Amino acid sequence: MVSIAVVNQKGGVGKTTVVLGLTSAAAQRGIRTLVVDMDPQGNATTGLGVFEPTRSIDSVLVEERPGGLRATVEPTGWATGCEPLPMLAASSPSLAVREAQLSTDPLGAQDRLRLAMRGNDVPLVLIDCPPSLGLLTINALFAADAVLVVTEPGAWAVDGVGRMLQTVDRIRMRRPDGGPEAAGIVVNRLGRTRDGRYWNEQLIAAYPDQCLPPVRLRAAVAEAAARSVPIHAMGRRPGAEEAAGEFDVLLDRVLHCCGCHDLHDLEHTSEGDI
Ligand SMILES: Nc1ncnc2c1ncn2[C@@H]1O[C@H](COP(=O)(O)OP(=O)(O)OP(=O)(O)O)[C@@H](O)[C@H]1O
Ligand SMILES: [Mg+2]
């Protein structure tokens, strides 16, 4: 089992898009996946086709019950042809209020998600984080085995990634297991402009060992999310196949960085009890 927090404190860089693309790629490979939507905006929740969640991750954070995540997990709405069907711990707008309340708790404000995920046996957990370094993201970083930083190839991207990695280092100093591991940095929405190429090169120069294969700017990617359809099910829509291929490669690389060298470890595992 591996859990990955998908982060950047900057908004709109493609965290949710990468979570959805990796979830689609994992389903394609037969890997059972759970998406935990820690963003009050709930974009991963709707992108996975869940519009009226029955429960949300918010109640799990309140209850502070070890293993409590199980009770909130529901199937996504990606039904057609998506096997095994990814699962979801949905977001709720009340998460925004919860973040402020958590900050008043002198004990356990940072690791409630970790507590809730105890005993989880879904092979792959992807945690979509909000665009901030607040307690919701911090909870994700305390809970996850690895962290994947998503960025755009734009001005100040190098600085933004640097700040994020500093925060990850501070978590590592506090976690008894020294986690989370670095799964890498993915440049998303890479276009064909000179500007995009320039900032991408800057990122590669700054983080030569951590940059993963990029995800290119493609209308099909945005359309898949807007239609709550996995990118692998976008058929002949121009660019869909190429985008799906990029997420396949990214999934391989991310799992490799997380120490899953043999993907058969994760593929086609039997139904767990979550
Ligand atoms: N590779 C891509 N090609 C085309 N459009 C993209 C791509 N990646 C993201 N987008 C679009 O860019 C917008 C922002 O992406 P997304 O919501 O994934 O970012 P985010 O980092 O999760 O945002 P937030 O910080 O608000 O949670 C969305 O409209 C999405 O469809
Ligand atoms: Mg998002």
Indicate the helix (H) or strand (E) that contains 78: none
Give residue 263's pLDDT: 63
pLDDT tens-digit series, residues 36-70: 999 999 999 999 999 999 899 999 999 889 999 99
Q: What is the pLDDT of residue 3?
A: 97
Domain around 13: 2-265
| pLDDT at residue 264 in the model | 67
Dist. CA 151 → ligand 1 center (Å): 10
The model's pLDDT over 85-128, given as tens digits with 9 standing for 90+, comes to 999 999 999 999 999 999 999 888 999 999 999 999 999 999 99
Reply yes or no on whether the pLDDT at 272 is more than 50: no
Domain annotation covers residue 271: no
- Ligand 1 pocket residue status of 244, Cβ below 6 Å: no
Number of domains forming the structure of the chain: 1
Q: Is the CB of 242 under 6 A from ligand 1?
A: no
Q: List the CATH number of the domain containing 40.
A: 3.40.50.300
Q: Please tell me the pTM assigned to this model.
A: 0.96
**Ligand 1 pocket, 224 CB below 6 A?**
no
DSSP, residue by residue, 210-270: TBPPPEE--HHHHHHHHTT--GGG-TTSTTHHHHHHHHHHHHHHHHHHTT---GGGTBTPP
Q: Report the helix count and the strand count for the chain, using DSSP H and E.
A: 10, 8
Residue 274: inside a domain, yes or no? no
Residues facing 124 on adjacent strands:
2, 33
What is the rounded CA–CA span in Å between residue 47 and residue 228? Answer: 4
Q: What is the pLDDT of residues 21-38, one digit of tens each?
A: 999 999 999 999 999 999
Structural domain includes residue 272: no
**CA separation for the pair 170, 115 (Å, rounded):** 20
**38 in a domain, yes or no?**
yes
